Amino acid sequence: MCAGEGILPLGPLSGAVAGTVKFTTTLIPPESPFLSVSWRFNGSNIITSTSINVTGPGYDSRISLDRATGALELRNLVLEDSGEYTVTVIADRGLQQQGKITLNVYVLITGATIRSPAAILIEDKSSTNLSCEASGSISTILWIKDGLSLHSGGRVSFSMDNRTVFIQPVHSSNHGTYQCQVSNPVSTMTVAYNLSINSAAAPGQRVTLQCTAASVPPANFSWMFNSNEKRVNNSMYIIERFGAENTGNYTCTARNMVTMLENTTVLNLRDSSLKKDPD
């Protein structure tokens, strides 16, 4: 009798609670049936199949064994099914082959959402945070802003578990769409949150709004104020003397005239002399 290893693929395998997983082997059905096929979980018998089948407690209605290849199907998974699985196959000439693999069972991710304190955010004065919440087995959390990965640095930092983004203090560049992608090996969920940053200016003050864009060739710029197009075609919008009539939303659009791709950002300009709205 000689022993061999490697009749199972490299693991680990992943499964979802209430789902099904199949442990396949690399064995080809022999001319004569295997003398025995035995599966064990953390050392305890799942099924031992010879001339009869001996099935471990709790597995009768949950397993199917392919006697020709030794493959095992396990259904109605629970978290407690996570662990090491061992198969031992004995051929008609007494050749024994074994394999081991680990199964990790996860709860599907549901109910993902991004929460943030309800407040009007003023550039360079306010701070805020975005918290990603979800149910299920969370393996990784990835933050994205305006389609690009969000990294720590400058005004942006993360909690130890990556669930919360802190922005201290906010800047106009922090305005945009934030996405939280929560995942594990069997499920992924992505949610979005639009963060608005307001700028404040004092009456009579000269205000310069700056719009930037990475573009080759350099981008063309256009501006709108409260949905009305303005005749400003460069990256700066200048208000010589700020007044109440200048409060509102300023929209800058940067367009690459070769690719015709464009990106838009909105900045809300407020009067700093007015009382701040309650949170």
Say what the pTM is. 0.75
* Alpha-carbon radius of gyration of the chain: 30
Smallest CA-to-CA distance from 126 within 89, 86, 93, 170 is with 170
Same domain, 189 and 267: no
- 181: domain range? 110-195
Q: Is residue 278 part of a domain?
A: no
**Would you place residue 274 in the very low, low, confident or very high pLDDT band (cuts 50, 70, 90)?**
low
CB 105 within 8 A of CB 82: yes
Q: Is residue 227 part of a domain?
A: yes
Q: Number of structural domains, the chain?
A: 3
Q: Is residue 159 part of a domain?
A: yes
Q: Is residue 58 part of a domain?
A: yes
Same domain, 25 and 83: yes
127-157 tens-digit pLDDT: 999 999 999 999 999 999 988 999 999 999 9
Same domain, 102 and 117: no
Rounded to 10 degrees, what is the CA torsion of 144, 148, 149, 151? -100
Q: Is residue 276 part of a domain?
A: no
pLDDT above 90 coverage of the chain, percent? 66
Q: Is residue 277 part of a domain?
A: no
Same domain, 96 and 13: yes
Same domain, 175 and 213: no
What residues contact 73, with CB distance under 8 A and at least 6 apart?
20, 21, 22, 23, 63, 64, 65, 66
Q: Is residue 224 part of a domain?
A: yes
Same domain, 86 and 43: yes
58-68 tens-digit pLDDT: 999 999 999 99
pLDDT at 3: 37
Tokens for 233, please give them. 């075609």
25-62 tens-digit pLDDT: 999 999 889 999 999 999 999 999 999 999 999 999 99
214-272 tens-digit pLDDT: 788 989 999 999 989 999 998 899 999 999 899 999 999 999 999 998 888 888 888 87
Same domain, 90 and 42: yes
Q: Is residue 137 part of a domain?
A: yes
For residues 272-278, give the mean pLDDT: 56
Give the CATH number, domain containing residue 152: 2.60.40.10
CB atoms closer than 10 angstroms to residue 136 = 20
Same domain, 15 and 87: yes
Same domain, 120 and 182: yes
Helix, coil or strand: residue 245:
helix
Same domain, 189 and 124: yes
Same domain, 119 and 134: yes
Q: Give the whole-angstrom CA distance, residue 67 versus residue 251.
A: 68
Last residue of a domain, one of 160, 178, 195: 195
Same domain, 50 and 91: yes
What residues contact 182, with CB distance under 8 A and at least 6 apart?
109, 112, 132, 134, 136, 138, 140, 141, 188, 189, 190
Last residue of a domain, one of 71, 106, 141: 106
DSSP H or E stretch at residue 23: strand 21-23
Last residue of a domain, one of 138, 166, 195: 195
